[in-house]
């Protein structure tokens, strides 16, 4: 499973660094090529000699080799890695990662890493529970970093609680599962609609909504991370897509989004309609700015926009899997089921504005996945983790990766 995979193992300064030697050995035994990057504090807990003997490569720690002045490029390492695992990650290293304090090779490598990053924190129970750590962990999650939660047990302080770095065998399981997932959509085309649509009233005004595009972009990144070719049809948002596997097509209005989505869906394996599309648009767009002088009231006549998900659903071929969203202001299960049928979808992701932290603009969401076989409710999670749950369900439904 790990043969030929390039893994950067980042080690920071905590007692759990002794377990990193075992983790390194397990990764190498499974065929991975591992490059260790250690912080200055990490070297106080485990020697580079041990790590370089186990990895078969010189350990990277300093920006320069002191006597020759040779510069070590963190950018090269970031590009080389298929995966970066930071284990143990101390509270200090996590804080530096969150705020981009690039004063050691581990953090500079993290900041230039192009692929997935996993973090296995290790610290005392009170440090783990501190609001500052909680905030930092949530920020890393929102940045797409996978957190391998620490286990409970006896800590270096002899206190008992949550904060022990997860066991190396468990971390290896997560690494293997990542590589399994990273190929699960290889050769598949996924179309995603994201963000709001703007319906012009005149050259300066539009009808729109509060969608930021975060949910749709998180799904796009998740699909790209699993090897899919992604067509991301994006309304006006200020986000950027990181993965080179994402082909972004910017649109403004529902009619434009409709035309692009219809075209892209014709040869797609999966389509996910996460955009908040305006249901109506002004019947005509004024050529110059509408003047308010002398007008106490103004009426804008609206006409119905095409239903993108429903029109794509109508053309759905056997084997294609189409997923819609339902944004409700109450529990909304009935509406989700009705959208599933009306739009000929295979799954509807129900999210409700009545749930704190769910829906528009947040970094988190709380969803229920509704299919013809029933529904599955998930707790509040980062939008990236919600995206992973959605794609797991799509893959099961489509039978991808099944023998
Ligand atoms: O972008 P964020 O700030 O991250 O917020 C995420 C979100 C709240 C926008 C997202 O999670 C979400 O719920 N998207 C769908 C919003 C919506 O328009 O829901 P709806 O119940 O009105 O529409 C049902 C489905 O039909 C959706 O898949 C929608 O994309 C689609 N639709 C609706 C109208 C239309 N004219 N064309 C469509 O394709």
For 180-199, what is each residue's pLDDT tens digit?
A: 888 999 999 999 999 999 99
Provide the pLDDT confidence category of residue 401 given band limits of 50, 70 and 90: confident
Residue 316, helix vs strand vs coil = coil
Catalytic residue positions? 209
What proportion of the chain, given as a percentage, has pLDDT over 70?
Answer: 99
Atom of ligand 1 nearest to the CA of 209: 9
Distance CA 36, CA 55 (A): 8
47-96 pLDDT, tens digit each: 999 999 999 999 999 887 777 777 777 778 888 999 999 999 999 999 99
What is the reported pLDDT for 292?
83
Residue 299 pLDDT > 80, yes or no? Answer: yes
Lowest mean pLDDT: which of 52-56, 88-92, 272-276, 291-295? 291-295
Atom of ligand 1 nearest to the CA of 324: 28
Average pLDDT over residues 34-39: 97
Distance CA 375, CA 337 (A): 10
Spell out the residues 6+ positions from residue 154 whose beta carbon is closer than 8 angstroms to its own. Answer: 160, 164
CB of 134 within 6 A of ligand 1: the answer is: no
Residue 299 to residues 202, 209, 288, Cα–Cα distance (Å):
13, 19, 16
CB of 371 within 6 A of ligand 1: the answer is: no
Average pLDDT over residues 222-246: 94
Distance CA 308, CA 259 (A): 9
CB of 384 within 6 A of ligand 1: the answer is: no
Distance CA 11, CA 36 (A): 7
Distance CA 264, CA 70 (A): 49
Burial status of residue 175 (CB atoms within 10 A of its CB: 0-12, 13-18, 19 or more): buried
Distance CA 324, CA 310 (A): 9
Residue with CA nearest ligand 1 atom 18: 276
Which contiguous run of DSSP H or E holds residue 3? Answer: none
CB of 332 within 6 A of ligand 1: the answer is: no
**225 CA from centroid of ligand 1 (Å):** 23
Atom of ligand 1 nearest to the CA of 195: 1
Residue with CA nearest ligand 1 atom 16: 276
What is the reported pLDDT for 337?
97
The residues that bridge with 189 in the sheet, in sequence order, are: 229
**216 CA from centroid of ligand 1 (Å):** 10
CB of 214 within 6 A of ligand 1: the answer is: yes
What is the reported pLDDT for 155?
83
Distance CA 98, CA 115 (A): 17
CB of 345 within 6 A of ligand 1: the answer is: no
Q: Which of 325, 336, 352, 365 to mutate to test ligand 1, by most ligand atoms within 8 A of the CB atom?
A: 325
**211 CA from centroid of ligand 1 (Å):** 9
Atom of ligand 1 nearest to the CA of 193: 30
What is the reported pLDDT for 69?
76
Residue with CA nearest ligand 1 atom 23: 326
Atom of ligand 1 nearest to the CA of 274: 14
Average pLDDT over residues 26-46: 97
Average pLDDT over residues 392-402: 91
CB of 361 within 6 A of ligand 1: the answer is: yes
309-331 pLDDT, tens digit each: 999 999 999 999 999 999 999 87
Provide the pLDDT confidence category of residue 159 given band limits of 50, 70 and 90: confident
Average pLDDT over residues 334-348: 97
Spell out the residues 6+ positions from residue 206 whose beta carbon is closer than 8 angstroms to its own. Answer: 198, 199, 200
Q: How far apart are the first and last CA of the chain?
A: 17
Provide the pLDDT confidence category of residue 295 given band limits of 50, 70 and 90: confident
Residue 402 pLDDT > 80, yes or no? Answer: no
Q: Which of 278, 309, 328, 331 to mutate to test ligand 1, by most ligand atoms within 8 A of the CB atom?
A: 309
**151 CA from centroid of ligand 1 (Å):** 38
Residue 403 pLDDT > 80, yes or no? Answer: no
Residue 365 pLDDT > 80, yes or no? Answer: yes
**276 CA from centroid of ligand 1 (Å):** 4
CB of 360 within 6 A of ligand 1: the answer is: yes
What average pLDDT does the chain have? 94
**340 CA from centroid of ligand 1 (Å):** 13
Provide the pLDDT confidence category of residue 29 given band limits of 50, 70 and 90: very high
Distance CA 302, CA 281 (A): 5
CB of 305 within 6 A of ligand 1: the answer is: yes
CB of 45 within 6 A of ligand 1: the answer is: no
What proportion of the chain, given as a percentage, has pLDDT over 90?
Answer: 85
The residues that bridge with 28 in the sheet, in sequence order, are: none
What is the reported pLDDT for 242?
81
Residue 157, helix vs strand vs coil = coil
**19 CA from centroid of ligand 1 (Å):** 46
């Amino acid at each position: 499973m790990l043969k030929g995979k390039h893994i950067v193992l980042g080690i920071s300064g905590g007692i759990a660094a002794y377990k990193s030697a075992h983790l390194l050995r397990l990764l190498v035994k499974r065929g991975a090529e591992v490059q260790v990057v250690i912080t200055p504090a990490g070297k106080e807990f485990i020697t580079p000699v041990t790590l370089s003997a186990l990895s078969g490569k010189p350990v990277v720690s300093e920006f320069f080799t002191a006597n020759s002045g040779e510069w070590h490029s963190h950018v090269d390492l970031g590009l080389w890695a298929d995966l970066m695992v930071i284990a143990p990650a101390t509270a200090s290293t996590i804080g530096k990662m969150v705020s981009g304090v690039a004063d050691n090779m581990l953090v500079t490598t993290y900041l230039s890493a192009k692929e997935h990053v996993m973090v296995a924190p290790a610290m005392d129970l009170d440090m783990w529970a501190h609001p500052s750590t909680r905030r930092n962990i949530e920020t890393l999650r929102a940045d797409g970093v996978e957190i391998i939660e620490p286990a409970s047990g006896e800590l270096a302080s002899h206190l008992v609680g949550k904060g022990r770095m997860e066991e190396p065998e468990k971390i290896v399981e997560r690494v293997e599962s990542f590589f399994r997932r990273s190929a699960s959509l290889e050769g598949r085309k996924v179309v995603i609609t994201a963000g709001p649509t703007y319906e012009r009233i005149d050259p300066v005004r539009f009808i729109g909504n509060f969608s930021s595009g975060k949910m749709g972009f998180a799904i796009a990144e998740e699909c790209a991370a699993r090897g899919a070719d992604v067509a991301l049809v994006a309304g006006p948002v200020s986000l950027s897509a990181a993965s080179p596997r994402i082909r972004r097509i910017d649109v403004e209005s529902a009619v434009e989004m409709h035309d692009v989505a219809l075209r892209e869906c014709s040869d797609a394996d999966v389509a996910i309609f996460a955009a908040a599309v305006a249901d109506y648009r002004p019947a005509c767009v004024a050529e110059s700015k509408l003047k308010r002088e002398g007008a106490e009231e103004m009426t804008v006549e609206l006409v119905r926009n095409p239903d993108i998900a429903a029109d794509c659903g109508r053309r759905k071929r056997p084997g294609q899997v189409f997923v819609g969203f339902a944004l409700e202001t109450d529990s909304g299960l009935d509406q989700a089921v009705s959208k599933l049928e009306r739009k000929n979808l295979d799954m509807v992701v129900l999210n409700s504005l009545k749930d704190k932290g769910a829906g528009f603009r947040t970094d988190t969401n709380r969803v229920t996945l509704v299919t013809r076989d029933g529904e599955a409710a998930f707790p509040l999670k980062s939008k990236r983790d919600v995206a992973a749950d959605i794609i797991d369900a799509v893959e099961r439904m489509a039978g991808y990766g099944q023998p």
